[in-house]
Chain A
Amino acid sequence: MKPVYFLCILFLCSTATAQTRLTGRVLDQKGRALPGANVFLKGTYDGGNTDSTGTFRFTSARNDTATLLVSYIGYEPFSQKITLGSSTPLTIRLQEATNELNTVVITAGSFEASDEKRMTMLKPMDIVTTAGANADITAAMNLLPGTQRVGEQTGLFVRGGSGEEAKVVIDGMIVQNPYFSSMPDVQSRGRFQPFMFKGTSFSTGGYSAQYGQALSSVLLLNTTDKSQNEGLGLSINLANTGLSYDHTSNKSSISATAYYGNLKPLFTLVRQNIDWTQVPEFAGTSLTYRLQPSKTGMLKCYGMYSASQLGMNFIDPSNDAGKTAFKQRNNNFFTTSTYTDSWADGRWLLYSGLSYSYDTDATTFDAYDFGRSSERLQGRAVLTRLLPNNNTFLFGTEASRVTLRNTVMGTRYALHDNYAALFVESQTYLGRNLAIQLGIRGEYASVINRFNLAPRLSMAYKTGLYSQVSLAYGQFYQTPDYRYLYLNRSLTYERADHLILNYQIIKNKRTFRIETFYKNYAELVREFTGQPFDANPYRFPIGQTDNSGNGYAQGFDMFWRDQKTIKGLDYWITYSYVDSKRLFQQFTVSATPTFISNHNISLIGKRYFEKISTNLGLTYTISSGRPYYNPNNETFLADRTPMVNNLSFSASHITRINKNLVVLYASVDNILNTHNVYTYRYTPDNKTRYAVGPQSYRSFFVGGVIMLSRKANVNVNEL
Chain B
Amino acid sequence: MKTLILLGISTLGTIAPVWAQSDQYKQAMSQAIGALQTQTMQTSATDLQALANQFERIASVETKEWLPRYYAGLMYVYLGFTGKDEAAKDKYLDQADANLKAAEALSLNNDELVVLKAYIAQSRMVVDPMNRWQQYGPLAQAGIEKAKSLNAANPRPYVLEGTSLMYTPEQFGGGPTTACPVLKQAAEKFATFKPANDLSPNWGQKQIEPLLAKCK
Q: Which residues of A contact B (CB under 8 A)?
A: 1, 3-4, 7, 11, 35-38, 40, 42-45, 47, 49, 52, 69, 71, 73-74, 99-101, 115, 118, 123, 125, 226, 228, 248, 608, 610, 613, 654-656, 661, 710, 712-717
Contacts and interface: CB of A to CB of B under 8 A. Distances in A.
B50 A45 contact: no
Contacts of B86: 118
Given A40-B57, A49-B49, A125-B131, A713 B91 contact: no
Nearest to A714: B172
Contact of A73 (B9, B46, B54, B95): B95
Interface of B: 5, 9, 12-13, 16, 20, 24, 28, 45-46, 49-50, 53-54, 56-58, 60-61, 86-87, 90-92, 95, 130-135, 137-138, 169-173
Contacts of A11: 20
Contacts of B172: 654, 661, 713-714, 716
B182 to A, nearest CB: 14
A3 B171 CA distance: 71
Contact of A4 (B13, B58, B60): B13
By Cβ-Cβ distance, the 10 closest A-B pairs, closest first, are: A38-B53, A36-B49, A123-B131, A49-B50, A717-B130, A613-B171, A47-B57, A40-B57, A715-B133, A654-B171
Given A45-B28, A717-B133, A4 B12 contact: yes
Given A36-B46, A714-B172, 6 more contacts: A4-B9, A11-B20, A45-B28, A52-B46, A661-B171, A717-B131
Contacts of A40: 57, 60
Contacts of A99: 87, 91
Nearest to A253: B138
B133 A73 contact: no
A611 to B, nearest CB: 10
A558 B80 CA distance: 35
A127 to B, nearest CB: 12
B92 A73 contact: yes
A610 B169 contact: yes
Contact of B46 (A3, A35, A45, A228): A35
A654 B133 CA distance: 16
A708 B91 CA distance: 39
A52 B47 CA distance: 12
Nearest to A8: B16
B60 A69 contact: yes
B24 A45 contact: yes
Main SS class of interface, B: helix
8 contacts: A4-B16, A36-B53, A40-B57, A40-B60, A45-B58, A49-B49, A248-B138, A656-B170
A38 B57 contact: yes
B61 A38 contact: no
Nearest to B52: A38
A118 B87 contact: yes
A49 B75 CA distance: 15
Nearest to A37: B53
B55 to A, nearest CB: 10
A99 B5 CA distance: 54
Contacts of A713: 133, 137-138, 172-173
B57 A115 contact: no
Contacts of B56: 38, 71
Contacts of A714: 172
Contacts of A655: 171
A460 B76 CA distance: 33
Given A73-B95, A610-B169, A228 B134 contact: yes
Nearest to B95: A73
B71 to A, nearest CB: 14
Contacts of A712: 173
Contacts of B57: 38, 40, 45, 47
A73 B45 CA distance: 13
A73 B12 contact: no
Contacts of A715: 130, 133-134
Contacts of A717: 130-131, 133
A101 B169 CA distance: 33
A3 B9 contact: yes
Contacts of A654: 171-172
A74 B24 CA distance: 30
A42 B171 contact: no
A115 B50 contact: no
A525 B215 CA distance: 74
Nearest to B46: A36
Given A49-B49, A713-B172, A115 B60 contact: no
Nearest to B133: A715
A100 B58 CA distance: 30
A1 B12 CA distance: 10
Contacts of A35: 46
Contacts of B46: 35-36, 52
Contacts of A118: 86-87, 90
Contacts of A37: 53
A123 B129 CA distance: 12
A115 B53 contact: no
A1 B171 contact: no
Given A45-B24, A713-B173, A1 B131 contact: no
Nearest to B45: A36
Nearest to B25: A45
B92 A36 contact: no
A71 B76 CA distance: 14
Contacts of B9: 1, 3-4
Contacts of B50: 36, 49
A99 B95 CA distance: 13
A44 B61 contact: yes
A513 to B, nearest CB: 19
Given A73-B92, A610-B169, A656-B170, A49 B131 contact: no
A656 B132 contact: no
A154 B95 CA distance: 48
A45 B61 contact: yes
Contacts of B61: 43-45
